[in-house]
Structure 1
Amino acid sequence: MWLLLINPTSGGGRGAKVGAEVARYLVSNSIQYSDISGSSFESARTNLRESLSTTVNGVIAVGGDGMVHLVIQELAEKKVPLLLIPAGTGNDFARVLHLPLDNPSMVLEKALSSAPTHVDLGRVNGTFFAEVLSTGFDSIVNERANRMVRITGKSKYYISMLLELPLFKPKSYKFRMDGSDFECKAMLIAVGNGSSYGGGMKVCPTANMSDGEFEVMILHEVSTLEFLRVFPSVFSGAHVKHPAVKILRGKEIEISADAVAYADGERIGSLPIRAHVVPSALLTWAY
């Protein structure tokens, strides 16, 4: 028996369409499943937690990175695999796994004919994350975007970025990483278990979900004009060549500042934060 979770509103409503396609595939291939989607993320998580008390083949999650974030809170360090069917706006976890973003049947066929693999997760202040934990400018942008109720999709983040950039000042951060302490002023800090966030921005371009380490990207203080010049290069990962960017690697990190943090696009809360890698914490399928 497979458990099916669908976020119908993900990707501007694409989740409902893809979810229906997945259900048809399962029925046509005589694959038993139970739809435990619920009416909200909270009810979906409760249903998932309760359903895991029985023996299941795995969890099929239809949605984006928000759905991934929900599911891994229950599947982390368990032997139940996650089969992700990407249907979100950003789909960064799916990108890192090299899953086809627009072919659910291909993803299902791959998973049903091969064994899952282990990947690392991060854990910050007790919450698991799959991709990137960040603080600084992008978190301020997320804070404003989350207050926008009339604008949806990626556009609200771009609008928030334009509104916040002229006002933003770099923060003073204190770090402890694998026992070493240091301080700096920075525009943005990204702690990558995976390489991308924000719909394909390769903020930690060489992060590897199977090496037991974080890749930490620090963008030191730059002018607004220079930030605008550097920002487009994050989509290719070329920003790491800029002299204001520093890349570190480690297994544990603590960060303190007057700032907030987000992980996988979800609000973690105010700093200080403490994060560590949880090696091989999740079973899933990758291409």
Structure 2
Amino acid sequence: MLAVTAPEQAPPGPVAVLANPTAGRGRHRGLLPRILERLGAAGRPVEVLRARSAQEAEAACHAAVAGGVGALVTVGGDGTVHRAVQAVAGTGVPFGPVPAGTGNDFAVDTGFPADPMAAVDVIAAALAAGRTRAVDLARLSHAGVEDRWYAAVLAAGFDAIVNERANRMRRPRGPRRYDLAILAELARLRPRRYRLTLDGEPHEVDAVLVAVGNTASYGGGMRVCPDADPADGLLDVVVGGRFDRRTLIRVKPRIYRGTHVTHPLVRTYRARTVEVAAEGITTYADGERALDLPVTVTAVAAALRLLR
């Protein structure tokens, strides 16, 4: 459950809006004028950030924060949120996610309505009242690479491997490519040896699934870390052990309900700092390609102020 903090006055300045027109396969593209109108009714000027790629979107968010923006709002899914939090993490600049993507796990898990316009109303009311609430973020580190932030879940097992394969495939386009990547990786499924260090305590496990959650869900409602609380200053770690193909296929649908954690091959942990090491895995954070293992993940309490 989210911790409720006393209202804080949001800093003055315009509201910057980062909209991803391709989020959710474009089904909410026509909502943007209405979203801007409702945000403007909160009494602040509204500026739309221009970007033609994920990299440009992230750079635009950084520039807006550096330029003194009063709040940052995203219109898109978890990938759009991921770009924005790189800029607002730890700054105190209030943030509001309008869930308009294929996966809106962070917005929903932190209490925003799943309907985009209902979420805009919540954000606009918070802007008008100068109200924010603090939630945690996870900081992701790898030696020699700039740290990254993530808001929801880090995938470091089978799902990350599937994403990596799908991103290497040129065809087919759309969801079918991901389905084919799943089939290809199921055919070569094998447990990998992971070295986990949880608040300094080492563990060695053979596993096919490793997830480190600030919030509960990823992948559009899969409650992989069902007990994760984004206001407790801790990370939830879920490890699925030596699953064979048949067992994984049977267990995977249970992730949507979060009941997979009762399976005898699943272990759960909670820690402030989590080190994850294994050979040949690139992690995915908020559904976005992140850093190669090994990585260190640190829960940073109250690193983000939500417009709620």
TM-score range with shorter-chain normalisation?
over 0.9
Show the counterpart of 1:176: 197
Show the counterpart of 1:108: 120
Show the counterpart of 1:91: 104
- Aligned-pair distance for 1:15? 4.7
163-172 vs 16-25, which deviates more?
16-25
- Aligned-pair distance for 1:46? 2.2
Show the counterpart of 1:264: 286
Q: For 1:112 and 1:102, how far apart are their aligned partners in 2?
A: 14
Alignment of 1:8-23 (within 5 A): 8-23=21-36
Matched, 1:34 2:50: no
Q: 1:234 corresponds to which letter in structure 2?
A: I
Contact 2:132 2:307 in 1 (8 A): yes
Q: 2:111 corresponds to which letter in structure 1?
A: H
Q: For 1:136 and 1:79, how far apart are their aligned partners in 2?
A: 33
- Aligned-pair distance for 1:135? 1.0
Task: Work out which of the residue numbers 195, 215, 232 in structure 2 matches 1:211.
Answer: 232
Show the counterpart of 1:193: 214
Cα separation, partners in 2 of 1:7 and 1:145, compared to 1, 3 Å: same
Show the counterpart of 1:121: 137
Give secondary structure in 1 for the equivalent of 2:252: helix
User: Residue deviations 1:196-248, cap 9 Å, x none?
Assistant: 00100000000000000011000000221111111110000000110000000
Matched, 1:278 2:290: no
Cα separation, partners in 2 of 1:151 and 1:30, compared to 1, 3 Å: farther
- Aligned-pair distance for 1:187? 0.6
261-270 vs 71-80, which deviates more?
261-270
Q: For 2:116 and 2:161, how far apart are their aligned partners in 1?
A: 34
Q: For 1:97 and 1:171, how far apart are their aligned partners in 2?
A: 32
Q: 1:65 corresponds to which letter in structure 2?
A: D
Q: For 2:182 and 2:154, how far apart are their aligned partners in 1?
A: 18
Q: 2:29 corresponds to which letter in structure 1?
A: A
Matched, 1:147 2:168: yes
Contact 1:61 1:83 in 2 (8 A): yes
Q: 1:69 corresponds to which letter in structure 2?
A: H
Q: For 2:273 and 2:40, how far apart are their aligned partners in 1?
A: 44
- Aligned-pair distance for 1:29? 6.5
User: Residue deviations 1:118-166, cap 9 Å, x none?
Assistant: 1000011111000111211111100111123444444432332122112
Contact 1:4 1:37 in 2 (8 A): no
Q: 1:11 corresponds to which letter in structure 2?
A: G
16-25 vs 265-274, which deviates more?
16-25
Contact 2:214 2:229 in 1 (8 A): yes
Identity fraction in percent? 37
Show the counterpart of 1:202: 223
- Aligned-pair distance for 1:91? 0.8
Give secondary structure in 1 for the equivalent of 2:55: helix
Give secondary structure in 1 for the equivalent of 2:188: coil
Matched, 1:231 2:243: no
Matched, 1:82 2:95: yes
Show the counterpart of 1:240: 261
- Aligned-pair distance for 1:28? 6.3
Give secondary structure in 1 for the equivalent of 2:27: helix
Contact 2:51 2:57 in 1 (8 A): yes
Cα separation, partners in 2 of 1:172 and 1:86, compared to 1, 3 Å: same
Q: For 1:218 and 1:197, how far apart are their aligned partners in 2?
A: 15
Q: For 2:92 and 2:269, how far apart are their aligned partners in 1?
A: 31
Cα separation, partners in 2 of 1:168 and 1:34, compared to 1, 3 Å: same
> How large is the RMSD of aligned CA atoms in angstroms?
1.7
Q: For 1:270 and 1:155, how far apart are their aligned partners in 2?
A: 26
User: Residue deviations 1:43-85, cap 9 Å, x none?
Assistant: 2222222222343331111111111110000000011111111
212-221 vs 30-39, which deviates more?
30-39
44-53 vs 196-205, which deviates more?
44-53
TM-score w.r.t. length of structure 1: 0.93
Q: For 1:268 and 1:55, how far apart are their aligned partners in 2?
A: 28
Q: For 1:8 and 1:149, how far apart are their aligned partners in 2?
A: 22
